[in-house]
Amino acid sequence: MQLKPKYLSLLILVLLVAAAPLFFPSGFYYRVGALIFINGIAVTGMVILIGYAGQISLGHAGFAGIGAYSCALAPVYLNIPPVAAIAFGAALSAALAWVVGRPILKLHGYYLGVATLGLGILISMVLLNEAQWTGGPDGIAVPDLGLRGLLRDMGLRVGAGELWYWVAALVMILGAWLALNLFDSPTGRALRALHGSEVAARTIGIDVPRHKLHAFVVSAVYASVSGSLLAQMNRLITPDVAGFMHSVQMVTMAVLGGVSSVLGAIFGATILTALPQLLTVFHQYEHMVLGLVMILVMIFLPDGLLPSILKRLKGRNEE
């Protein structure tokens, strides 16, 4: 029986997520795992934007910031229940991406990079400076989602780390499934066509600006949900979530792992999230190692880690 690549990817993902806890030496690793999945969600959005549509964004952390602060502020000021705040943040991010995306996405390459970078910085600046709402640089507490309480009432006692491991895993797999479905859909094909050549795509009747905008909005929603979950898990959020470095992290994770495949990008998220946790011993060298990894992978494995590894394995089989 031959599985479709789409289902094979999902199956691998589910198996890895389910099997990983068997090897956890302590409860701390559930938190690391949850963090990986939360980054994995944002990175899946980057696959749609960068990998499918060929557009770059250096400002997507701004949308993560909107998602995160929606979870902190909407329940307090708008009386929206914490669960609905995630959807509220996603809707807000989508609306902003929709409005800003149209003029910005006319730009290409570095110009698109700087425009999105500006957008992200503006959002993080508002979060940093409007201290009466956002708590400023010290951050703000996030109301409890109530999930653990709900499970306790049902007689299930789950640690916070464990709970978030499974919740984030579920959302990530759902997101990966949607992204994989998109790949072969008419929209996915259109995106890949305009990635190859916008002019060629236009000549066969693809509405290029509309499709770029769709990819931008969808990826913004992914980033927003990722930010929301981060806020809910940590119960505290600081403006760093919307900062330039977080935007860079998202792009780097995706490109490092392999931006043209969902599985590869999540692999990149895994490595770049786990590496600093493992490198705490070498805390002093953390930045140097991270910078070096970014440079070396881009020079020697420009397709990203996972596709390059797979290619090498395939090549060996054929010999």
Partner 1 sequence: MSDLLQFLLSGLTVGAVYALLALGFTIIFNASGVVNFAQGEFVMLGGMATAFGIAAGLPVPLAALLAILGTAALGVALNALAIAPARGAPVVSLIIITIGAAIFLQGAAGLLFDKQIHRYPGFSGEAALRILGATILPQSLWVIAGATLTFALLWLFFSRTLTGKAVLATANNPLAASLVGINTRAIMALSFGLSAAIGAVAGLLVTPITMTAYNTGVALALSGFAAAMLGGLGSPLGALVGGLLLGVLEALTAGYVSSQYKDAVSFILIILVLTFLPQGLLGRKSTDRV
Strand partners, 237: 140
Contacts of 226 (CB under 8 A, 6+ apart): 38, 39, 41, 42, 45, 64, 67
In the complex, what is the shortest distance from the CB of residue 128 to partner 1, in angstroms, rounded to a whole number? 8
Closer to partner 1 by CB, 34 or 272: give it. 272
| CB nearer partner 1, residue 170 or residue 200 | 200
CB 157, min distance to partner 1, A: 42
Give whole-number Cα distances, 293 to 106, 128, 180, 275, 278, in Å: 32, 31, 28, 11, 15
Tokens encoding 104: 């910005």
Give contact residues for partner 1 (rule: CB under 8 A).
50, 56, 58, 103-104, 106-107, 109-111, 113-115, 117-119, 121-122, 125, 128-129, 197, 199-200, 244-245, 248, 251-252, 255-256, 259, 284-295, 298-299, 302
Name the residue nearer to partner 1 (CB basis): 57 or 234: 57
Q: How many CB atoms lie within 10 A of CB 99?
A: 10
- Please, which residue, 234 or 273, has the CB nearer to partner 1? 273
CB of 83 to partner 1, least distance (A): 33
Residue with tokens 């916070």: 160
Q: Minimum Å distance from CB 200 to partner 1?
A: 8
Provide the 3-class DSSP secondary structure of residue 75.
Answer: helix
In angstroms, rounded to a whole number, what is the distance separating the alpha carbons of residues 157 and 167? 15
Tell me, what DSSP letter sits at residue 260? T
Supply the Cα-derived Rg of the chain in whole angstroms: 20
Instruction: Work out how close the CB of 290 gets to partner 1 at its nearest, in angstroms, rounded to a whole number.
Output: 6
Instruction: Answer whether 254's CB lies under 8 Å from 51's CB.
Output: yes
Nearer to partner 1, 1 or 299 (CB): 299
Residue number, 137 or 149, with CB nearest to partner 1: 137
C-beta of 297: minimal distance to partner 1 in Å? 8
**57 or 224, CB closer to partner 1?**
57
Cα separation, 191 vs 211, in Å, equals 6
Sign of the torsion formed by the C-alpha atoms of 114, 120, 124 and 127: positive
Q: How far is the CB of 103 from partner 1 (least distance, A)?
A: 4
Cβ proximity to partner 1: between 129 and 185 the closer is 129
Residue 112 to residue 91: CA distance in whole angstroms: 23
Shortest distance, CB of residue 114 to partner 1, whole angstroms? Answer: 5
Which DSSP helix (H) or strand (E) runs through 237? strand 236-237
Expressed in angstroms, the distance from the first to the final Cα of the chain is: 25
